[in-house]
Structures are given as C-alpha cells and as structure tokens.
Amino acid sequence: MTLRRVVGWSGELLVTLGVLVLLFAAWQLWWTDVVADRAQARIVASLEEEFAESAREPVARSTTAPADGIPEPVGPDGAFAVVRIPRFGADYARPVLEGTGRDVLALGVGHYVGTAGPGQVGNFALAGHRTTYGRPFHDVDRLVDGDPVVVETAAEVHVYEVTSREVVRPGDVDVVAPVPSEPGAPPTEALITLTSCHPRYSATERFVVHGRLVESVPRSAWDPARLLALTGA
C-alpha cells in the first residue's frame, strides 16, 4: 500500500465524516424545528378545542385545578395550558406540559415539577429550548420589563408582567424557588419564571426571566382580541 493511496483514503474518509457532521447539524438545527413546530401546533389546536368544549359544557366537564394547582392534562401528550407571549408575535402559542425532560421539551414548554401552578401564589416556573425542537424560547432575551406573558388554562386566563431578567449558571436552581433566589422564603405573590439556555447554541449558562401576576380572569370572560392590545398592535 503506497503512501499516496493511504493519503487518498484518509482524505475520502475525512470528507465523508464532514458530510455526516453537516447532515447531523442540519437535522439538529433545522429538521427538529420543523417536526417540533408541527407537533406543538397540533397540541395547541387540541388544547383550544378542549378549552372551547369545556366552556360549552361547564357542568359535564370539571375545569377546577387539583390541590397542587396543576390543571388536569388534556389529551395523550399531557399538555395542560397554552402560553402566549405577544413580544414574540401575535400568533405565538406554545403548549405547556408537566416536567422538563428531553421528551417533554421536544413537545413544547415544560413546567418545573413542584413549582406553583398557573395563577397560584408561588413561582410558576417554565423551561423551553432556545435552539432546536421548535425553540419556543428562542427570543427570550428580547423580553423587557412590562412585557405580558399570557397563560391560558381550561378554567382561567392569567396575565403576567415581566419584572426582571438575569443570566445564571446551570446549577443555580434557586431561580425557580417559590421566591426566586430566596430558598425557604414563604411566597406572598403569584410569580412566573422562564428559563432557557444561554447564549444561543450553547448551554453554558441560563437566561432567566421573572414576572408577576397582574390579572386572572375566567375563560368565559376573556376576550382573545385583548392579545392584540397587549402587543401594542
């Protein structure tokens, strides 16, 4: 075997490996978004249908959250709420599911187990991908104080208002405590926390957005057109 032949085979192998790496990157950064966007849109549509059905049959269907404050999941995917963030566009809507595992975050926004439910006193803490799998929190760094975050359940619609932002290390889990960054402190108000990787295309840090509840209204009294007002449109 000549040196020239060895070099030739090595070059071909490196080219093949390079193509495989590019294909994997395309799958990770593009195709997972396509698949996840479709799945999440389907789950949101299912939730909206269930919410509408619950409103039409208030006696036959219970919309009361259990003792832990987490509404009963709707459908096989386990989603229980829809989060809308006008800053991300008037048509932005993502399903909220219990848990923050990889399989859950591929389907939407995950709710940290053990944190408060929507509208409850305490910290309703959520996690979402910033890249890949639909990247629901891709633009989380664009949120500013005063921006609304709307969480819809079968029974109520909760409007939160952004109050602060911070960047922390992945191990700084106190940001999802009932009183953020004050572990053990008793909560006195209803808060929301959004967490995602930072910077984009990296997981070295976490971008964290905090907010407080400013309004909760029964679903029957909620006017969807208000979302346009919240966007400033």
Q: Is 130 a catalytic residue?
A: no
Q: Is 56 a catalytic residue?
A: no
DSSP secondary structure code for residue 74 in this structure: B
CA 121-108-223 angle, to 5 degrees, is 60
Is the four-CA dihedral 134, 212, 144, 125 of positive or negative sign? Answer: negative
| Token output for 64 | 């009361």
Element (H, E) at 113: none
Q: Is 84 a catalytic residue?
A: no
* Catalytic, out of 94, 197, 198, 210: 197
* Catalytic, out of 111, 129, 198, 210: 129
Residues 6+ positions from 130 with CB-CB distance below 8 Å = 137, 138, 140, 196, 197, 198, 200, 207
Q: How far apart are the first and last CA of the chain?
A: 71
* Catalytic, out of 84, 130, 158, 206: 206
Cite the active site residues: 129, 197, 206
